[in-house]
C-alpha cells in the first residue's frame, strides 16, 4: 500500500466501520478514535437502529467523513454508494454486530446499506458481536457465527461480564484494543499478496478402473478451496487445480478441473511455471489401476486389481523449483502424525508441511474444521488448535508471506 507513484509512504489503512443497533453502539465513537489514533482512515455506516444509540454527527465528526445510512446516500447521489464504499475499503469491520446483523450476513440478505456492502465486499471482514448472553448462546446465532467464520470473517468474540441489560454472561463487546488490532491486521492482509501468483491443488483424484469405476478417496477439496479463497482475498492471482469435488469454487480464482493424478500433474507443472507460491493440498491417489479396462469389467470372482504408483507431484515440483518459489505440502495421516510428517517434509523437500490427522471425526476429510500440525521450515512441529479451514488457510498464508519476502522474485 503506497501513497502514489514515486512515493513510498504507506497510505493509511482504510477501514469501513459498520455499526449496528445494540447498546454497545455507544462504544463506536471510542472505536473510531482508537482506529484514527493508529493511523487508519475510517468511514462509518450506521444501521437505522444504531442511530438510536449514536448520532451520525458524532461519527462524522470523528471520522472526518459523512456517515452513510441508506443505500442511496443522502442526498441521493447518482453514484452507486455500496460499490464506491467497497472499492474504497481495505477491510470491513462491524462493531457492534447484533444478532440480527449476523443472521442477515449469514444468509446473504441485502436489505439495507450495511448488509448490501457485506455482500458486495470481497476483502477481509472483521465482526465483533455484542448482545444479551441468551441471544449470543442461541443455536441460530451460533450457527450464523460459524457460517461467517467458514466464509473467512474474523470473529472477535464477546467477553463475559456485566451487561447493560443487567444480565451477566458472554455478550459484552470485545475490548476495543482487540477489535483495533484485528481491523488493522485485516486491512494489511487485503493487499499483502497483491499481484502474486499462487497455485493451489485441491480435492481427490479419481483413478479409472474401467469406464464406470474408479479408485478415489474422501477428500472434499474444502482445505484447498479455503486456501485459494484466502489468497485471493489478499490480492493474489490464484490458479486452483482441483479434482472431482461438489463444492463451489471461490469467486475470482482461475480453476482447472482435472480427474486423475496424471492430469493434476500436468496442470500443476503448468501453473508452477509462473507461480511464486505452490500449495499441494490435494489428496492425490498414490496408485492407479494398471492399464484401465476399455470396457466395463463384468463380475469375476475372485478378481484382483493391479495398481501402479503415481508420480509424486509435490516432489517433482520441488525438484523443478523456480527461483524465489515457496512450496507447501500437506500430509494426511492416521497415526504417528508428527514423526511421519517430519520425515515426509524432509523427503519431499518442501518449505512447509501441513499435517492433518484424518482418523477422527470433525477434522480432516469432509469436515469444515481442521486440526493440523505445521512442520515449519526448520522441521519443528507446531500444533494448531481446531479451527475452521479458512482460518487454517489464513494462518498458513501468514507463514508463507515472510518466506516470500526472504526470497525476492527473480
First-to-last alpha carbon distance for the chain, in angstroms, is: 22
- Quote the least distance from Cβ 354 to ligand C5P, whole Å: 8
**What span, in angstroms and rounded, lies between the C-alpha atoms of 178 and 361?**
32
- Quote the least distance from Cβ 364 to ligand C5P, whole Å: 13
**What span, in angstroms and rounded, lies between the C-alpha atoms of 364 and 381?**
18
**What span, in angstroms and rounded, lies between the C-alpha atoms of 200 and 192?**
17
Cell triple for 105 = 450476513
* CB-CB contact of 380 with 341 (8 Å): no
**What span, in angstroms and rounded, lies between the C-alpha atoms of 296 and 299?**
10
- Quote the least distance from Cβ 234 to ligand C5P, whole Å: 21
- CB nearer ligand C5P, residue 163 or residue 241: 241
Does residue 165 have an active-site annotation? yes
* CB-CB contact of 288 with 261 (8 Å): yes
**What span, in angstroms and rounded, lies between the C-alpha atoms of 107 and 126?**
17
Helix (H, G, I), strand (E, B) or coil at 277: strand
**What span, in angstroms and rounded, lies between the C-alpha atoms of 285 and 276?**
25
- Quote the least distance from Cβ 309 to ligand C5P, whole Å: 8
| Residue of 165, 178, 386, 387 marked catalytic | 165
**What span, in angstroms and rounded, lies between the C-alpha atoms of 48 and 104?**
14
- Quote the least distance from Cβ 318 to ligand C5P, whole Å: 10
The residue whose Cβ lies closest to ligand C5P is 313
Integer angstrom CA distances of residue 44 from 25, 126, 231: 12, 14, 27
Give contact residues for ligand C5P (rule: CB under 6 A): 261, 280, 282, 284, 286, 310, 312-314, 329-331, 344
Catalytic site positions = 165
Amino acid at each position: 500500500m503506497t501513497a502514489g507513484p514515486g512515493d513510498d509512504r504507506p497510505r493509511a489503512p482504510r477501514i469501513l466501520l459498520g455499526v449496528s443497533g445494540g447498546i454497545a453502539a455507544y462504544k463506536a465513537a471510542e472505536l473510531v478514535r482508537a482506529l484514527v489514533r493508529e493511523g487508519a482512515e475510517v468511514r462509518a455506516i450506521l444501521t437505522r437502529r444504531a442511530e438510536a444509540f449514536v448520532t451520525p454527527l458524532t461519527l462524522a465528526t470523528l471520522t472526518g467523513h459523512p456517515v452513510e445510512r441508506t443505500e442511496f446516500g443522502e442526498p441521493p447521489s447518482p453514484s452507486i454508494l455500496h460499490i464506491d464504499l467497497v472499492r474504497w475499503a481495505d477491510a470491513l469491520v462491524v462493531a457492534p454486530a447484533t444478532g440480527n446483523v449476523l443472521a442477515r450476513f449469514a444468509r446473504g440478505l441485502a436489505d439495507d446499506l450495511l448488509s448490501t456492502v457485506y455482500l458486495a465486499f470481497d476483502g477481509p471482514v472483521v465482526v465483533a458481536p455484542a448482545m444479551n448472553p441468551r441471544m449470543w448462546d442461541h443455536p441460530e446465532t451460533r450457527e450464523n457465527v460459524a457460517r461467517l467464520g467458514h466464509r473467512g470473517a474474523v470473529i472477535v468474540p464477546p467477553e463475559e461480564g456485566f451487561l447493560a441489560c443487567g444480565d451477566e454472561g458472554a455478550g459484552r463487546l470485545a475490548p476495543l484494543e482487540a477489535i483495533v488490532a484485528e481491523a488493522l491486521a485485516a486491512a494489511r492482509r487485503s493487499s499483502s499478496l497483491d499481484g502474486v501468483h499462487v497455485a493451489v491443488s485441491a480435492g481427490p483424484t479419481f483413478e479409472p478402473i474401467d469406464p464406470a469405476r474408479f479408485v478415489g478417496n474422501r477428500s472434499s477439496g474444502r482445505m484447498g478451496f479455503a486456501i485459494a479463497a484466502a489468497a485471493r482475498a489478499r490480492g493474489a492471482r490464484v490458479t486452483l487445480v482441483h479434482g472431482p469435488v461438489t463444492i463451489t469454487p471461490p469467486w475470482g480464482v482461475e480453476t482447472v478441473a482435472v480427474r486423475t493424478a496424471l492430469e493434476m500433474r500436468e496442470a500443476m507443472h503448468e501453473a508452477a511455471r509462473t507461480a511464486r507460491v505452490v500449495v499441494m493440498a490435494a489428496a492425490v491417489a498414490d496408485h492407479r489401476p494398471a492399464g484401465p479396462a476399455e470396457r466395463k469389467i463384468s463380475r469375476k470372482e475372485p478378481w484382483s486389481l493391479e495398481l501402479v504408483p503415481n508420480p509424486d507431484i509435490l516432489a517433482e515440483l520441488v525438484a523443478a523449483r523456480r527461483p524465489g518459489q515457496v512450496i507447501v505440502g500437506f500430509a494426511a495421516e492416521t497415526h504417528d502424525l508428527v514423526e511421519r510428517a517430519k520425515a515426509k517434509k524432509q523427503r519431499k523437500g518442501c518449505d512447509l508441511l501441513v499435517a492433518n490427522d484424518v482418523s477422527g471425526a470433525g477434522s480432516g476429510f469432509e469436515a469444515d474444521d481442521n486440526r493440523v500440525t505445521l512442520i515449519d521450515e526448520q522441521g519443528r512441529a507446531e500444533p494448531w488448535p481446531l479451527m475452521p479451514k479458512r482460518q487454517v488457510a489464513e494462518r498458513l498464508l501468514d507463514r508463507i508471506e515472510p518466506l516470500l519476502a526472504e526470497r525476492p522474485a527473480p
